[in-house]
Structure 1
């Protein structure tokens, strides 16, 4: 299939709605399509998005619960041991601070509150702190909680679930073939196993990727396929924010149109899943951010881990201007 061939993108939507996975050739045709096809691709992706989610948009808020101090060498991350980025560094926040973050999430109409901590994985003491905060949040607020604490063991996963953690995030980040060029201090399989442990414990699996780290088009398709096979319920699609002081500083592989095609591809391959426009959207999508919601059905509001996000009221206005509706306190 070449770019010169006329593609009926609605056939891709039909395949997605019937549960059939796109082939490699079809998947590549989405990413490599001429920019003049962009609106047609998004219209087809929107058919799938509307079927499963209507015009509702889920909002998520991150609490950077522990910053820096990480022994891992992930090349994209400002908190890694190989980063010289001038970021704030601190140990895990106290329970009251974590609970206050959930109240802020409620004020911003976010239905999911994400407690994120840097590091290879949590100590048992850190799990104790998160468990205490989660129990209080669950007792006082109608809030879905996602934890992202790194590599877990079975006991830690069980304790988080029992405390009330609804979802556990551990991103695969990139394809298995590209992984070793981004991170060497742990493996792709380590990440897969953590997601599986979270699933076994009864938490909803959340796992996604970072686009723009030098991966090929085929590797983008491979990570989308892997997330489908993993059964991730929520898929954060991040776009690289090349932070000065990190090994990937200076990379500039993306433009807004490519990002939108990637989001459409993820909707076709993982049709019924929550596709979340995540880190880097403001930088990489720029003025085309609203179009992302024709493929995705979820966004982060507020700041990310060490980078600033768009003002939350601007996100609310963007959703309203599209004629979409914020799904507040979305516990499904």
Structure 2
């Protein structure tokens, strides 16, 4: 977790851009109590116009911790389910799919809007993708980040073939069909998988994207993304929807 002053400075810098949400993301299973207290202080001290635009991805927090963040002004919590429940054990053993689902449910019970999606190109089938989309629908998730695998050397999925741009676009279209009212946010792997076809995500059904860098890879610059959006006759800006 960045020092408080650095975190505040970066949040305010991003708040000057035409972006709807500013994500605070940490690695590891969850924040500890000291880190949580620090983050609450940072949130509480933000200007009233900025605080509602901050969302967080902080791991497997308890009901009490999530309620504390909501009390400090956080409105949205991100926690991915990653893939279909049936396929999940093939890619993750550090926590179960049910544990991930329960974190999403705790966030909603704490009064936070849930942001939950996953990663595609893990080797899952189309049936897995359909089941995954319906799981999100059943949970009532309205904000769905969609990531595409960018294989890293010396990881278990290093040899996994990268999805074609066409297949990635069909996945977006599938999720739009099953989740017609959701915000589909295209995130990690976008430049690698879609390349020169990134602009087609909007035709496929996406209506949001994550701009800037991702967890372990570089993304596309904010100015480039804004230019791409404008070239499609679309407008990027702050709106009131949560």
**What range is the shorter-chain TM-score in?**
over 0.9
Instruction: Check conservation: 2:147, 2:188, Cα contact below 8 A.
Output: yes
Match of 1:37 in 2: none
Match of 2:117 in 1: 208
Match of 2:64 in 1: 155
Instruction: Check conservation: 2:78, 2:114, Cα contact below 8 A.
Output: yes
Corresponding position: 1:218 with 2:218: no
The structure showing larger relative contact order (alpha-carbon pairs under 8 Å, at least 6 residues apart) is 1
Q: TM-score, normalised by structure 2?
A: 0.95
Alignment of 1:1-332 (within 5 A): 92-139=1-48, 141=50, 143-294=52-203, 295-328=205-238, 330-332=240-242
Q: In structure 2, what is the Cα distance between the partners aligned to 1:306 and 1:330?
A: 30
Instruction: Check conservation: 2:52, 2:74, Cα contact below 8 A.
Output: no
- Give SS of 2:38's match: helix
Q: CA deviation at 1:138?
A: 4.3
- Give SS of 1:236's match: strand
Instruction: Check conservation: 2:150, 2:162, Cα contact below 8 A.
Output: no
Q: CA deviation at 1:169?
A: 0.5
Q: CA deviation at 1:106?
A: 2.0
Q: In structure 2, what is the Cα distance between the partners aligned to 1:325 and 1:140?
A: 21
1:302–1:143: structure 2 CA closer, same or farther, 3 Å change rule?
Answer: farther
Q: In structure 2, what is the Cα distance between the partners aligned to 1:321 and 1:212?
A: 28
1:142–1:128: structure 2 CA closer, same or farther, 3 Å change rule?
Answer: closer
Q: In structure 2, what is the Cα distance between the partners aligned to 1:168 and 1:138?
A: 19
- Give SS of 1:235's match: strand
Q: CA deviation at 1:253?
A: 4.2
Say how many residue pairs are matched.
241
- Give SS of 1:326's match: coil
- Give SS of 1:180's match: helix
Unaligned stretches of 5+ in structure 2? none
Task: Name the Cα RMSD after superposition.
Answer: 1.4
Q: In structure 2, what is the Cα distance between the partners aligned to 1:117 and 1:307?
A: 15
Unaligned stretches of 5+ in structure 1? 1-91
Instruction: Check conservation: 2:107, 2:113, Cα contact below 8 A.
Output: yes
Mark the structure with the bigger radius of gyration: 1
Q: TM-score, normalised by structure 1?
A: 0.70
Q: In structure 2, what is the Cα distance between the partners aligned to 1:120 and 1:172?
A: 14
Instruction: Check conservation: 1:105, 1:111, Cα contact below 8 A.
Output: no
- Give SS of 1:261's match: helix
Question: Structure 1 runs of 4+ off > 6 angstroms?
Answer: none
Instruction: Check conservation: 1:144, 1:331, Cα contact below 8 A.
Output: no
